[in-house]
Amino acid sequence: MHLMASSTITLEEDDKEEIRHYGIGNWVIGIVAFKNGKLQMIKAPNCFSFSLAFRYGPAAMAICIPVGSCKLFCRAVDLKGQGCRRAQWDASVAFKRCLQDEFSRSCELSKFSHVYRSKASQPIICKKWRTLTAVTSACLSDGSTKYFDFVVIGSGVAGLRYALEVAKCGSVAVITKAEPHESNTNYAQGGVSAVLCPSDSVESHVQDTIVAGAHLCNEETVRVVCTEGPDRIKELIAMGASFDHGEDGNLHLAREGGHSHRRIVHAADMTGREIERALLEAVVRDPNIFVFEHHFAIDLLTSEDGSDIVCVGVDTLNAETLEVTRFISKVTLLASGGAGHMYPSTTNPPVATGDGIAMSHRAQAVISNMEFVQFHPTALADEGLPVRLEKPRDNAFLITEAVRGDGGILYNLSMERFMPLYDERAELAPRDVVARSIDDQLKKRNEKYVLLDISHKPRESILSHFPNIAAECLKHGLDITCQPIPVVPAAHYICGGVRAGLQGETNVRGLYVAGEVACTGLHGANRLASNSLLEALVFARRAVEPSVDHMRNSSLDSSALNRWARPFVPVSLGNDFMSRIISMTKDVRKQLQLIMWKYVGIVRSTTRLETAERKISELEATWEEYLFHQGWEPTMVGLEVCEMRNLFCCAKLVVSSALARQESRGLHYTIDFPHLEESKRLPTIIFPCSPTKSTWSSRQLHWQPV
């Protein structure tokens, strides 16, 4: 192979199976692609970073200039265990093979900078909800810092839908806490609400949403979401999402509590799973999206620009390798879900520990409406099952709203129907009403669960509409086609979160939010059933244009890399040290959950909330004192400890917001102020506070001295 003076490199016959790149001083030649026997120069390295979105054939390389004046170096890198599902690019050199429709090539860099072709390997879609298998590649760095145009935190419907759009304009890292499919989306049973029937109307959907939200919704937001929703559904269908159809060939539309029309698009009782499948398949096919699984987001990286706070990335902990990786990006989308595990029983998966809300609060983002915690009225009550579970579930099994929408009736254990006593809409009342009614029945009768009966419907109809629920119950000796289902309320959804504008923007420049982590104003004081997936789809799409504009107008300052203290895992202190910390933290977590359920549950009072505030403060202080007495340092990180920080932070936000609202509205019901007050029909807003005056769980790690 000969290096030519021109932009074309000619390959000799013996070089056809080898591509070689050459460093010139501290620079790398550029991007080259194998084409017609020649290596064609595609782009010179005249910028700090650039998009990797190209497809020039089976042998292509992308090369980026080194940071600052560092010298070019090469070494073989084993990406196994790093959690990257595709090729990566970072500070020194970016390298990527084009992913063809039929194959993708696996490569390795030797210390002599040789790149050898290897046997083609195809990304596989696994049966277990299409998780991604690793496509190996190599990168020239220690792996501790990676650069992308966009970083997406979360792999639910909001994060994946956004990633697929912005990937058209730049490189995208999707950071997910567990496997890519493990998100609240995957557990969403009911469906997505949208106006798709001629007898329905956007105005009707708007009014249903506002009524359910106790008139605290932002009407402009509601109209935008209800208007754009149908197009978002059609896009999903075009991407391959398969929803149920009726005998007439049209989409089968279900009805749920609070809706005046049948407008719920669904895939049996596994809608979220089907949407997640379609999106993940599209992500696999996109060569510009890189998925980093088992990467826990620790803290957002922020800097000050005059009076503005700017987000430039995130620190993460690889939960499998216990390595800390820093992601630097021009734009960050936070789509990390909710915080259901503040409570002992929740329908949320284990990953929902309020990480995004807590990180944003520490990063000086505005938080809103955290008092509105939605308790789903019908989670499966394991104590009422004929066959008991061998071990407790990580999260409560959801019995979808659609069961009541399809005619399910609630009874107490004496088989007395009780919902008509509380609301004229009976079982079709909004979730807050149904949850409070069940809570009242349980307390009055000193019982542990109520019964939801759908057995009066035809067996074939039940099994076709609710196959997942029927199968889960049958595992434990319960046939829902002839027996009632034991149910109990469980923490389900946070209507509050990071305050966002109509395009998902926050008060932190470069930080956008979508999904449950965001407070867009759609839900108000109570989320209307099946509006959550709808909101995620709409705002993920609306955040694209401003994100791309921000990316194109931003530059990354390589000199700022060491501005923030590096978190580190205390592996040198030994297993006994971490065992003591984890054991203590698990116990503290259970105590916090019990405090939240007892004092900040479905029915509240000022005294209970003040008691919760005091107990949480004392528990947090005890926990932090124990950690630091054991030798923990402010910049140390561990998965359990970081989750505990976030749970404390979110719990305090919920309690302080609840104390501030002196009325009962939607999901916030207090016996001291049992009525609506029109003068208090305003959102609760928590502005940033000084990090120096807060507890460790409320401060960014990089506020600590290095």
Q: How far apart are CA 649 and CA 641, in angstroms?
A: 12
The total of other beta-carbon atoms located within 10 Å of residue 520's CB is: 28
Q: What is the DSSP letter of 678?
A: G
The total of other beta-carbon atoms located within 10 Å of residue 78's CB is: 10
Q: Look at residue 659 and give its three-state secondary structure.
A: helix
Secondary structure element (H or E) that encloses residue 511, with its range: strand 511-513
Token couple for 390: 């061998």
Sheet holding 450-453, edge to edge: 373-380, 485-494, 450-453, 409-411
Strands (E), 389-495: 409-411, 450-453, 485-494
Q: How far apart are CA 436 and CA 429, in angstroms?
A: 11
Residue 444: CB partners within 8 Å, gap ≥ 6?
none
Q: Look at residue 320 and give its three-state secondary structure.
A: coil
Token couple for 464: 């076709």
CB 406 within 8 A of CB 687: no
Q: How far apart are CA 34 and CA 56, in angstroms?
A: 8
Residues making up the chain, counted from first to last? 706
Q: Look at residue 683 and give its three-state secondary structure.
A: coil
Q: How far apart are CA 194 and CA 172, in angstroms?
A: 29
Q: How far apart are CA 62 and CA 51, in angstroms?
A: 9
The total of other beta-carbon atoms located within 10 Å of residue 356's CB is: 29
Token couple for 424: 């004229």
* Helical spans, DSSP H, in 144-270: 157-166, 184-187, 202-212, 219-238
Chain CA centroid to CA 514, Å: 9
Q: What is the DSSP letter of 298?
A: E
Q: How far apart are CA 297 and CA 317, in angstroms?
A: 7
For residue 375, count CB atoms less than 10 angstroms from its CB and return exposed for 0-12, middle for 13-18, buried for 19 or more: buried
Q: How far apart are CA 689 and CA 287, in angstroms?
A: 41
CB 165 within 8 A of CB 538: no
CA distances to 6, 122, 141 from 20, rounded to whole Å, are 16, 24, 18
- Cα-Cα-Cα-Cα torsion 638, 642, 645, 646, nearest 10 degrees, comes to -170
Q: How far apart are CA 676 and CA 570, in angstroms?
A: 51
Q: How far apart are CA 56 and CA 40, in angstroms?
A: 10
* DSSP-assigned beta bridge partners for residue 636: 568
Phi, psi at 60, each rounded to 5°: -135, 145
Respond yes or no: is residue 445 known to be catalytic: no
CB 212 within 8 A of CB 174: no
Q: Which of 431, 436, 527, 542 is catalytic?
A: 431
Region for residue 422 given its phi and psi (left: phi exceeds 0; alpha: psi -120 to 50; beta: otherwise): alpha
CB 213 within 8 A of CB 526: yes
Sheet holding 60-61, edge to edge: 8-10, 38-43, 31-35, 60-61
Known catalytic residues? 431
